[in-house]
Amino acid sequence: MSPEILTVAMFATLIVAITLGHPLAYTLAAVATLFGLIDNGFDVAGLFNMFANNTWGLMNNYVLVAIPLFILMAQLLDRSKVADKLFETLFVVLGGLKGGLGLAVVVVCTVFAATTGIIGASVVAMGLLATPALMKRGYQKELSAGIICAAGTLGILIPPSIMMVVYGGLTGLKETSVGNLFAGSIFPGLLLAALYFIYIFIRCNINPKLGPPITKEEASKWSTSQKIILTLKSLLPPMALILAVMGTILAGVATPTEAAALGALGAMILAIFSGNFNWTVMKESAHATMNTTAMVMMLFIGGKFFSTVFLSMGGGDVVADVLVGSGLNRWMVLLIMMGIVFIMGMFIDWAAILLVTVPIFMPIAMELDFNPLWFSILLCVNLQTSFLTPPFGYALFYFKGVAPEGYTMGHIYKGILPFVVLQILGLVIIGFFPSIVTFLPTLFFGG
């Protein structure tokens, strides 16, 4: 059977299996097994050896040790109530502005994103914490849902990010090492946060009914000096943790894995000093870390097996020939690749998309002479939209699970649309100005 027919049949089978609702990790592995046997003449032993070697290689990847450590850090931070204290402070500081509470959510989520890369934790925490306050102040439901869902997804991009750890472990390139990816994603993440901030501020000033400020009486309860002291007290703990994790990586003092261990220890210390640490918290954090890590690694194993079989039967060459050999301008090829990732993000988990597309698209990007780091960050920013795009945007269901009565999926879908447009705008800006990505890696790592 020709590689072209196998390629089309393999992807068609994967789409059908996913549509039927089977677990993604096992679906990827099962489809890879079926087409691997077809391609190698049903040599079961040969395929098993390929699977075993792939799994062994993953388990030997030192970089991936950072995944459970960053997840543990996120779980401990979630239970230390750092985000709660910061939101309470910014409620006072920004609440007097039109749309001020929405702006506070964006700031808290940005800081929280820089201390944890777990989307579920960010969206659920802010959904529980901020939604009642936004409802009480008369914020439009659609706007409230959009703010929390969009700002909550910043954690997948702003380092330390689990996505970047997985991506760095996939490519094995010096240009796309985890350190370079972390440094390269800082400004794009802040750019998206700034776009959300500006959009909320402008829209609520045009129509104050969407996000009314707190009353003057509430705003005047605190003097300027008290607000400054409150802000510093609530910001210092997470900023110290950010410095401990990202500072050691960017300074070249620690590897991402070592910094992740330092971050987990720092999160535990913050939880202790906040008075929210006990044996139950530690046990629940460890249990949640184990579950999430197992899920990520099973996806990693299934996705890696899928991509290995796909490439071994010539699927990568088929896709490359279609895109590169089409005679299209290289920017059109880039647009097609980004479009494929965007559409896949509507239906498939980000980890599976990375595992399937990176081994295929990265060689094409390098053949077209695109900067590997810039291309990688473009792809990751694009993948952030997968958390918001219907029908299977994870952030939407995380929020719906904790939203107060009265919020429907219709409110949530309408609310996220402007923020998806803002994410695409951010992607375009990064595309036109590559230095947004490359500046910090060049500054800290020399390129």
Residues 46 and 305: beta-carbon distance below 8 Å: no
**Whole-number pLDDT of residue 120:** 67
**Whole-number pLDDT of residue 150:** 92
Query: What are the tokens at 233?
Result: 């007290």
**Whole-number pLDDT of residue 419:** 95
Residues 168 and 182: beta-carbon distance below 8 Å: no
Distances (CA, A) of 430 to 31, 101, 297, 379, 436: 35, 28, 30, 11, 6
Report the predicted TM-score, pTM, of the whole model to 2 decimal places: 0.86
**If we measure between CA atoms, which residue out of 211, 403, 298 comes closest to residue 25?**
298
Q: What share of the chain is helix, strand, coil (3-state, %, to 5)?
A: 80, 0, 20
Phi, psi (deg, nearest 5) at residue 176: -115, 35
Grouping H, G, I as helix, E, B as strand and the rest as coil, residue 227 is: helix
Map 130-187 to HEC letters.
HHHHHHHCCCCHHHHHHHHHHHHHHHHCCCCCHHHHHHHHHHCCCCCCHHHHHHHHHH
What are the pLDDT tens digits along the chain (447 aa)?
Answer: 678 888 888 888 888 887 777 777 888 889 989 998 988 888 888 888 888 888 887 788 777 788 888 888 878 877 777 777 777 788 778 877 888 889 988 998 888 888 766 676 678 778 887 888 888 888 899 999 999 999 988 988 888 888 888 888 777 778 888 889 999 999 999 999 999 999 999 999 999 899 888 777 766 676 778 778 887 887 888 888 888 888 888 888 888 888 888 888 988 888 888 777 888 888 988 898 888 788 878 888 888 888 888 888 887 778 877 777 777 789 999 999 999 999 888 877 787 788 888 888 998 999 899 999 999 999 999 998 888 888 777 788 888 887 888 788 888 889 999 999 999 999 999 999 999 999 999 988 875
Q: How far apart are CA 226 and CA 221, in angstroms?
A: 10
Distances (CA, A) of 100 to 67, 97, 142: 35, 5, 16
In degrees to the nearest 10, what's the CA dihedral of 137, 140, 145, 150? -100
Phi, psi (deg, nearest 5) at residue 291: -60, -45
Query: 163 exposed, middle or buried (CB, 10 Å; 0-12, 13-18, 19+)?
Result: buried
Q: What's at 194, amino acid-wise?
A: A
Q: How far apart are CA 396 and CA 92, in angstroms?
A: 28
Residues 414 and 165: beta-carbon distance below 8 Å: no
Phi, psi (deg, nearest 5) at residue 385: -65, -20
**Whole-number pLDDT of residue 355:** 82
Query: What are the tokens at 98?
Result: 């039109």
**Whole-number pLDDT of residue 428:** 96
**Whole-number pLDDT of residue 218:** 66
Query: What are the tokens at 78?
Result: 């979630």
Q: How far apart are CA 250 and CA 124, in angstroms?
A: 30
DSSP single-letter state for residue 282: H
Handedness of CA 67, 69, 74, 75 (dihedral sign): positive
**Whole-number pLDDT of residue 336:** 92
Residues 96 and 214: beta-carbon distance below 8 Å: yes
Q: How far apart are CA 246 and CA 239, in angstroms?
A: 10
Q: How far apart are CA 168 and CA 185, in angstroms?
A: 13
**Whole-number pLDDT of residue 365:** 92
Distances (CA, A) of 228 to 97, 103, 108, 203, 225: 17, 17, 16, 27, 5
Residues 215 and 135: beta-carbon distance below 8 Å: no
Grouping H, G, I as helix, E, B as strand and the rest as coil, residue 310 is: helix
**Whole-number pLDDT of residue 103:** 92
Q: Find how far residue 386's CA is from the centre of its chain.
A: 9
Residues 196 and 178: beta-carbon distance below 8 Å: no
Q: How far apart are CA 397 and CA 149, in angstroms?
A: 9
Residues 98, 110, 447, CA angle at the centre, nearest 5°?
A: 135
Residue count of the chain: 447
Q: What's at 363, amino acid-wise?
A: P
Q: Find how far residue 126's CA is from the centre of its chain.
A: 16
Q: What's at 283, amino acid-wise?
A: K
What residue ranges do the domains of the chain occupy?
59-308+372-445
Distances (CA, A) of 303 to 52, 195, 300, 320, 353: 14, 33, 5, 20, 8
